[in-house]
Amino acid sequence: MQTTEQISYVVSFTAGFLMFFSPCILPLVPSYLSYLTGVSFQELSGEAELSEKKRIRLLTLVHALLFIAGFSIVFILLGLTVTVLGKALFEYQVILKRLGAILIIFFGLVISGVLKVGILTNEKRIAYKKTGVTLIGSILVGATFALAWTPCAGPVLGSILVYASTTANLRLGFELLSLFSLGLAIPFFLAAVLMNSFLLYFKKIKAHLKKVNILAGAILIIFGLIILIGG
């Protein structure tokens, strides 16, 4: 296995993990869980009656897993799609890798705040009018989350997709987007399991969200340089 491919695995997982803590996603987590389950913030934080706690926890975990399945399916399908496109353009692979590396560096500069690009940094959210969805609904909401992901986090996903497309390797495209989804899924699931503690420390974490973007941007810039220099 080539060194660049090994690094891409680490970058994909780390990028997904860090994006959970980005200003685009972390503040929305309690709202998503409340919407999916139809349970209030007070109940989610463990202040409900004892007889309700087990039901609320089970409900939250089931919906969280289905939500994760929804966005994972979309991310992986996106990875396979761009990889197939890259395979069709295989004869231009060298040029695509260089252009892809430059694009990844550009995304890194945007994420870290060095460059300001309105269409990539303006935050967009989906407004929901009711709370509580079916089990199938949780999968669909997860898929919608992936398709309409907030633009300020989009460059990170875009960077992984760009690299996947330049490899022209379906297996690698599947693995990279699976690791990216896993990186995002683990903290989301833990937040659902430990909602009481998550809400308790949320304000402390929130003060450091911009640092997460800087770190994620730096990782992408370094990764782009590795691809550009290493070919």
Q: What is the mean pLDDT of residues 8-22?
A: 88
Indicate if the pLDDT at residue 230 is higher than 90: no
Indicate if the pLDDT at residue 40 is higher than 50: yes
CA atoms of 216 and 224, how far apart (whole Å) = 12
Contact assessment for residue 19 and residue 25, using Cβ atoms and an 8 Å cutoff? yes
- Give the pLDDT of residue 45: 59
CA atoms of 131 and 197, how far apart (whole Å) = 23
Q: What is the mean pLDDT of the chain?
A: 78
What's the first-to-final CA gap in the chain, in angstroms? 15
Indicate if the pLDDT at residue 192 is higher than 80: yes
Q: What is the mean pLDDT of residues 76-92?
A: 82
- Give the pLDDT of residue 127: 46
**95-134 pLDDT tens trace:** 877 888 888 888 888 877 787 765 454 444 444 444 456 7
Reduced to 3 states (helix: H, G, I; strand: E, B; else coil), residue 149 is: coil
Domain that holds residue 22: 3-230
Q: Residue 93's CB: how many other CB atoms inside 10 A? A: 16
Q: What is the mean pLDDT of residues 140-156?
A: 74
**How many structural domains does the chain have?**
1
The DSSP symbol for 75 reads H
- Give the pLDDT of residue 182: 95
Q: What is the mean pLDDT of residues 21-30?
A: 78
What's the predicted TM-score (pTM) here? 0.79
Task: Give the amino acid at 185.
Answer: A
Is 135 exposed, middle or buried, given 0-12, 13-18 or 19+ CB atoms closer than 10 A? exposed
- Give the pLDDT of residue 21: 82
